[in-house]
Chains A and B, each alone.
Chain A
């Protein structure tokens, strides 16, 4: 039975990403050998999930929700303002490697939109000014 209870692949990938910020080629090679999974399959798995990164990201990952309920709370304006402020498009990292901007599907705070997550922190009921203030305050 123990084999079912070794660390699940997704959990291992999360742990690597939490430590290093992304999942490197070396990590993939190591997991491939340890778990006896072809590298191509691992790439397939990692790239399937939007939260995993194969390249380094910014110090802060900014996830802005643009699904229906947030859209009804003017998330489009927020997304545009953040793109302008950070001078990046979706899934891009700022030149100083500080921020990566992601426009994501529902974050499950539909009653408090518009919503963004910066790394592990949620910010709700946002205005453009408030959102920019939050990003400004991060070192």
Chain B
């Protein structure tokens, strides 16, 4: 990974790690910490992009003896592996972010929920937590302050939908990972009915980094609505797949593919999935767009989780569509009828299209209708976004070629 913002970090070794972010935070009042995060412009890096400082402030402002911080490490979006990278390579940075968020929000208890398949990350983080207890960075009187914070690791067990914050909360409580109706939002009634902040791994690592500076360099990077940097994990038909930290607005999506990831393998780019398989595909003509939340939204797509998948023009696009549709059919939690049935029915249509080799205009129309129904009626981000990529590929590549 090329380091821009996370460059100060010294990796896994606790002896070399300074916990400067946490030390700085403990010298400040919680509201001052929140203000600093708000000023940084940090937005949630899991996919939704909600301003982190506002989330923290909401939980801070609620009076309750028990509040929770959950680090969402259930990274299951195909194409996304940056949280695994962070946990395996910078575990103390992630844990430091969790502890800071606990201090800022007045929470004494934290969870890190890591997907069960990440056995390596689980081992490393588990060991890192033990070390922090030994070093008085977790537990009572953290770093000789009067702040108390306990942290536990919970393993997921193979369910993509648990990446949704309400599903994840149900999962920690020992239930099936089904999503909850919102409102109430988890910040008001989350884990065990208590105010709960759920933040992504990358968000918390960035928060720790922001707190380690006296000034606020993070807010100097990027654009007004997309401040700082983003970890992009790139895979698929590129020469140098991997995790890269890029500054928002500095590069276009095309630059990221060509310069950062070493260019496309194959003749030319067919399409790029910019943020994991829940985000709309961008065709080659659409790639000269600066990598920011606002610019990708203007293109009808999204930064998502930052999991960029590059597909060469020589690939069978319908095979990708079929694969993605199989995934969403299998992974819906089934609680919302439109999501469960919609993804199942679209999968049948997509299977027919895949066998035939092209879609009819009628099929695209049906898919579009179902997509509308599923995305508007679903409780959580899964249903809201499950058909984005599929529909975008049909609309961008197949509407002109189909029979009437």
Mark A residues whose CB is within 8 Å of B. 1, 4-5, 8-11, 13-14, 35, 37, 44-45, 48-52, 63, 66-69, 71-72, 104-113, 117, 120, 122
Give chain B residues whose Cβ lies under 8 Å from the Cβ of A106: 76-80, 160
> Are B159 and A49 closer than 8 Å at their CB atoms?
yes
Q: A4-B66, A49-B159, A105-B76 are in contact. List 15 more A-B contacts (CB 8 A).
A: A8-B154, A8-B174, A9-B174, A10-B172, A14-B155, A63-B117, A67-B78, A68-B277, A68-B323, A69-B79, A72-B315, A108-B117, A110-B79, A111-B81, A111-B235
The answer for the CA separation of A63 and B119 in the assembled complex, in Å, is: 13
| Residue from A51, A104, A110 within 8 A of B81 (CB atoms) | A110
* Residue in chain A with minimal CB distance to B161: A48
The answer for the CA separation of A45 and B156 in the assembled complex, in Å, is: 12
The answer for the CA separation of A14 and B274 in the assembled complex, in Å, is: 34
> Are B119 and A120 closer than 8 Å at their CB atoms?
yes
What 5 pairs across the A-B complex have the smallest Cβ distances? A9-B174, A50-B158, A111-B241, A49-B157, A110-B235
Mark B residues whose CB is within 8 Å of A. 66, 75-81, 84, 108-109, 115-120, 150, 152, 154-160, 171-177, 191-192, 233-237, 241-243, 273, 277, 307, 309, 311, 315, 319-320, 323-324, 327, 330-331, 333
CB distance from A17 to the nearest CB of B (A): 9
CB distance from A104 to the nearest CB of B (A): 7
CB distance from A13 to the nearest CB of B (A): 7
Give chain A residues whose Cβ lies under 8 Å from the Cβ of B108: 1
> Are B174 and A10 closer than 8 Å at their CB atoms?
yes
The answer for the CA separation of A76 and B251 in the assembled complex, in Å, is: 34
> Are A1 and B119 closer than 8 Å at their CB atoms?
no
| Residue from A5, A13, A37, A44 within 8 A of B157 (CB atoms) | A13
CB distance from A51 to the nearest CB of B (A): 4
Give chain B residues whose Cβ lies under 8 Å from the Cβ of A66: 323
Known: A1-B66, A48-B176, A120-B119. A10 touches B157 (CB 8 A): yes
Known: A5-B152, A68-B78. A37 touches B233 (CB 8 A): no
Give chain A residues whose Cβ lies under 8 Å from the Cβ of B241: 110-112
The answer for the CA separation of A58 and B91 in the assembled complex, in Å, is: 33
> Are A4 and B192 closer than 8 Å at their CB atoms?
yes
CB distance from B238 to the nearest CB of A (A): 9
Known: A5-B109, A45-B176, A68-B324. A11 touches B154 (CB 8 A): yes
The answer for the CA separation of A108 and B331 in the assembled complex, in Å, is: 16
The answer for the CA separation of A44 and B334 in the assembled complex, in Å, is: 13
* Residue in chain A with minimal CB distance to B191: A4
> Are A108 and B157 closer than 8 Å at their CB atoms?
no
The answer for the CA separation of A46 and B115 in the assembled complex, in Å, is: 15
Give chain A residues whose Cβ lies under 8 Å from the Cβ of B323: 66-68, 71
Give chain A residues whose Cβ lies under 8 Å from the Cβ of B309: 68-69, 72, 110
* Residue in chain B with minimal CB distance to A11: B154
CB distance from A3 to the nearest CB of B (A): 9
CB distance from B122 to the nearest CB of A (A): 9
| Residue from A44, A108, A111 within 8 A of B118 (CB atoms) | A108
Give chain A residues whose Cβ lies under 8 Å from the Cβ of B331: 105
| Residue from A4, A8, A49, A122 within 8 A of B177 (CB atoms) | A49
**30 residue pairs from A and B, CB less than 8 Å apart:** A8-B154, A8-B174, A10-B155, A10-B171, A13-B157, A37-B174, A44-B176, A45-B176, A48-B177, A51-B116, A67-B277, A68-B320, A68-B323, A69-B236, A69-B309, A72-B235, A72-B309, A72-B315, A105-B78, A105-B330, A106-B160, A108-B81, A108-B115, A108-B117, A110-B78, A110-B80, A110-B236, A110-B307, A113-B235, A122-B119
